[in-house]
Amino acid sequence: MRRSNEGSSRHTSMPRKPSRASHGASGAAPVRTAPPRARSEIEFEEATILGALFGQFDANLVQIENRLGVYIAARGNKVQIEGPEEPVARARDVLKGMHQRLISGQELDAGVVESLIAMSAEPTLEGIVSGVDGAPGVMIRTRKKTIVPRSAMQIEYMRALASKDVIFALGPAGTGKTYVAVAQAVSQLITGSVQRLILSRPAVEAGERLGFLPGDMKEKVDPYLRPIYDALYDCMPPEQVERRIASGEIEIAPIAFMRGRTLADAFVILDEAQNTTPAQMKMFLTRFGQNSRMVVCGDPKQVDIPGGAPMSGLKDAVERLEGIDGIAVTRFTSSDVVRHPIVGRIVDAYEGNEG
């Protein structure tokens, strides 16, 4: 619903500036100068998308107000923003980014709005959304959706995925390491730049002992590979995923199945790589073949193998290989978490205690 002049005095007129306190005595505390205030107005031409832009009951506008400390009033197709100069500029960029997503046919929800707010602190937000000097923005197109960066570090990650041979993606859960890699792999498979998509991870439980799992080999390893399946189904229609798995175009297997192979014309993703040993990681990386790309994802602080972090093949590989031509290392932090804002705060709390 569109915010109107009626129903809320908070949006009927812009808030008054606070009155300046008087200090009679010469020795009184100096007056603290308030940050300069600014007012900005945006006019949107496409009236049909205003409902989606503002959100139900203006939820998107309220979210921006609460996060940036500004006041927003919507009147028809015009939006006025008032507050400190920098937050007003950020709010304007966020609204323009939301509008750009909608007119390009992309989804807009609370998570996307939160991501745009977080990225508005970066000087590159305008380039992310609409491209720089007429160039297209950073994005990955798949059959089901178009993926755009949802954090500042995802911009760097997407660019590395499109240009480097081997990419290490390090960081906590919820930063999009595996999801974005799968999206890039699906995009390249659809366009024919690779012939196969190979998704792998070590079959290691997260601090548990699940015991014997019934069924054939696929049924035994599927529980460990569920996050990869979820990303696949989000980027491709389910029937296409099943058909390509049956034909061998998409292969999902534990890392032990990689030994002795040469992975040519393939996009290869290793997830949960922190749970490999140095020997396993060396074996995996040396499978690299012609016209291939490898992405190695993991959280160095979530090691579940015996011996802990010092025995992790991911840590060992990054220390040995970072800086080599053709290899990129992208490091995510809690500020890059794109699931729910509270996930980032949880990560900070745990890592703070560990520190």
Residue 64 sits in a domain of what CATH number?
A: 3.30.1370.10
- Picking from 88, 112, 130, the residue at the C-terminal end of a domain is 130
Q: Which residues contact 246 (CB under 8 A, 6 or more apart)?
A: none
Mean pLDDT of 156-183: 91
User: What's the confidence (pLDDT) of residue 1?
Assistant: 40
Residues 115 and 144 in one domain: no
Mean pLDDT of 95-102: 86
Q: Is residue 105 part of a domain?
A: yes
Q: Which residues contact 145 (CB under 8 A, 6 or more apart)?
A: 106, 107, 234, 235
pLDDT band at 353; cut points 50, 70, 90:
low
User: What's the confidence (pLDDT) of residue 168?
Assistant: 97
Range of the domain at 264: 140-354
Residues 49 and 108 in one domain: yes
Sheet holding 166-170, edge to edge: 250-254, 196-201, 266-270, 293-298, 166-170, 327-331
pLDDT of 176 higher than 90 = no
Highest mean pLDDT among 19-33, 157-171, 233-247: 157-171
Q: Which residues pair with 73 in a beta bridge?
A: 80
Residues 178 and 77 in one domain: no
**Which residue in this structure is represented by tokens 């590989």?**
317
Q: Is residue 123 part of a domain?
A: yes
pTM over 0.85: no
Tens digits of per-residue pLDDT, 185-218?
998 998 899 999 998 888 765 444 445 556 665 6
User: What's the confidence (pLDDT) of residue 116?
Assistant: 80
- Say if CB 157 and CB 169 are below 8 A apart: yes
User: What's the confidence (pLDDT) of residue 48?
Assistant: 86
Residues 108 and 153 in one domain: no
Q: Is residue 304 part of a domain?
A: yes
As a whole number of Å, the end-to-end CA separation of the chain is 46
Q: Is residue 213 part of a domain?
A: yes
Q: Which of 58-72, 98-112, 116-130, 293-307 has the lowest mean pLDDT?
A: 116-130
Q: Which residues contact 2 (CB under 8 A, 6 or more apart)?
A: 50, 51, 54, 58, 74, 76
User: What's the confidence (pLDDT) of residue 18?
Assistant: 39
Q: Is residue 322 part of a domain?
A: yes
Q: Which of 9-13, 74-78, 177-181, 321-325 has the lowest mean pLDDT?
A: 9-13
pLDDT of 31 higher than 70 = no
Residues 122 and 196 in one domain: no
CA distance 177 to 311: 22
Residues 171 and 114 in one domain: no
pLDDT of 8 higher than 80 = no
Across the chain, mean pLDDT equals 79
Residues 208 and 348 in one domain: yes
pLDDT of 283 higher than 90 = yes
Q: How many domains does the chain have?
A: 2
Residues 249 and 179 in one domain: yes
Residues 297 and 251 in one domain: yes
Phi, psi of 335 (to 5 degrees): -70, -15
Residues 245 and 344 in one domain: yes
- Picking from 83, 99, 130, the residue at the C-terminal end of a domain is 130
- Say if CB 147 and CB 338 are below 8 A apart: no
CA distance 303 to 207: 9
Q: Is residue 166 part of a domain?
A: yes
Q: Where are the beta strands (DSSP E) in 221-349?
A: 250-254, 266-270, 293-298, 327-331
**What one-character DSSP code corresponds to residue 31?**
P
Residue 184 sits in a domain of what CATH number?
A: 3.40.50.300
Q: Is residue 11 part of a domain?
A: no
Q: Which residues contact 113 (CB under 8 A, 6 or more apart)?
A: 55, 60, 63, 64, 94, 98
Q: Which two tokens stand for residue 262?
A: 């040469």
pLDDT band at 28; cut points 50, 70, 90:
low
- Picking from 130, 158, 189, the residue at the C-terminal end of a domain is 130
**Which residue in this structure is represented by tokens 């292969």?**
251
CA distance 77 to 303: 52
User: What's the confidence (pLDDT) of residue 305?
Assistant: 85
pLDDT of 281 higher than 90 = yes
Residues 164 and 269 in one domain: yes
User: What's the confidence (pLDDT) of residue 219?
Assistant: 67
pLDDT band at 142; cut points 50, 70, 90:
confident
pLDDT band at 135; cut points 50, 70, 90:
very low
Q: Which two tokens stand for residue 17?
A: 């500036």
User: What's the confidence (pLDDT) of residue 147?
Assistant: 75
User: What's the confidence (pLDDT) of residue 148?
Assistant: 73
Q: Is residue 21 part of a domain?
A: no
Residues 55 and 98 in one domain: yes
Q: Is the dihedral of CA 350, 110, 240, 176 positive or negative?
A: negative
